[in-house]
């Protein structure tokens, strides 16, 4: 969802597991905390490690199109400070502060997913700073498409299938629209659409 200078992710409720609020402990090796799936809530230090990790994946995956990462700063915020238009967001990219903000009630693996999605928005926003010019479908679809490629590199493959099969008309259909463009015409075609907001025949995408 896009509003004025904020590009935000509203809902990925399918990620929210039943362990919220329970006492859980992490059995992961310290070096693998960024991929932790033990149900532990996100903390600032792990969030920073995760964002740095995703940024490395981002530059590897899109090295032909991206010279530096669009956002390297992250901040956690409590759920009640994440309410945008009456809904609680899991994360958003704040273009004024040039930082990513994520909900501190997320578990570590959920936070990783949200960050991957918001990296897509941040990239998009730097190229196309007028959010009103971008349809929600194209914005959320692109963010999910970026997220899919980053998460694929992490090896959390079931998250990739969730992105692919998400029934949501914005997130799911938006992703699948970009994905079929990629399958037919390649990665560059997707990036060109994101950059130019024109379709493959040169018309403006609604
Ligand atoms: Zn979003
Ligand atoms: Zn763990």
Q: Kindly report the CATH number assigned to the domain that includes residue 161.
A: 1.10.390
Q: What is the pTM of this model?
A: 0.86
CA of 29 to the centre of ligand 1 (A): 31
Backbone dihedral region of 191: left (phi > 0), alpha (psi from -120 to 50 degrees) or beta?
Answer: alpha
Where b means 16+ CB within 10 Å and e means fewer, 150-176 reads bbbbbebeebbebbeebeeebbbebbb
* Within-domain flag for 202: no
Tell me which residue of 175, 79, 75, 166 sits closest to 120, measured CA to CA.
175
Q: Provide the pLDDT for residue 7.
A: 44
Domain that holds residue 148: 2-196
Q: Provide the pLDDT for residue 21.
A: 52
* Within-domain flag for 206: no
* Within-domain flag for 203: no
CA of 103 to the centre of ligand 1 (A): 14
CA of 56 to the centre of ligand 2 (A): 21
Low-confidence ranges of the chain (pLDDT < 70): 1-22, 131-132, 197-206
Which residues sit with Cβ closer than 5 angstroms to ligand 1, an ion? 9, 140, 143
* Within-domain flag for 204: no
* Within-domain flag for 145: yes
For 8, the enclosing helix (H) or strand (E) is strand 6-9
Q: Provide the pLDDT for residue 115.
A: 98
* Within-domain flag for 128: yes
* Within-domain flag for 25: yes
* Within-domain flag for 97: yes
**Which ligand is the nearest neighbour of the Cα of 119?**
1
**Which ligand is the nearest neighbour of the Cα of 26?**
2
Q: Provide the pLDDT for residue 201.
A: 55
Domain count, the chain: 1
């Amino acid at each position: 969802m896009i509003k004025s200078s904020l590009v935000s992710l509203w809902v990925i409720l399918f990620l929210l597991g039943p362990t919220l609020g329970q006492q859980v402990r992490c059995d992961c090796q310290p070096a693998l905390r960024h991929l932790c799936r033990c149900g532990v809530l996100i903390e600032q230090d792990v969030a920073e490690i995760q964002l740095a990790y995703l940024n490395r994946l981002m530059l590897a995956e899109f090295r032909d199109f991206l010279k530096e990462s669009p956002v390297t700063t992250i901040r956690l915020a409590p759920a009640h400070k994440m309410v945008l238009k009456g809904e609680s967001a899991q994360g958003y990219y704040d273009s004024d502060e040039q930082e990513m903000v994520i909900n501190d009630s997320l578990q570590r693996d959920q936070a990783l997913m949200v960050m991957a999605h918001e990296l897509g928005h941040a990239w998009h926003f730097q190229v196309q700073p007028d959010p009103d010019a971008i349809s929600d479908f194209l914005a959320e679809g692109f963010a999910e498409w970026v997220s899919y490629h980053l998460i694929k590199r992490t090896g959390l493959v079931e998250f990739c299938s969730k992105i692919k099969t998400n029934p949501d008309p914005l997130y799911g259909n938006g992703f699948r629209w970009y994905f079929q463009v990629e399958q037919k015409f390649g990665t560059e075609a997707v990036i060109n659409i994101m950059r130019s907001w024109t379709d493959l025949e040169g018309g403006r995408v609604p």
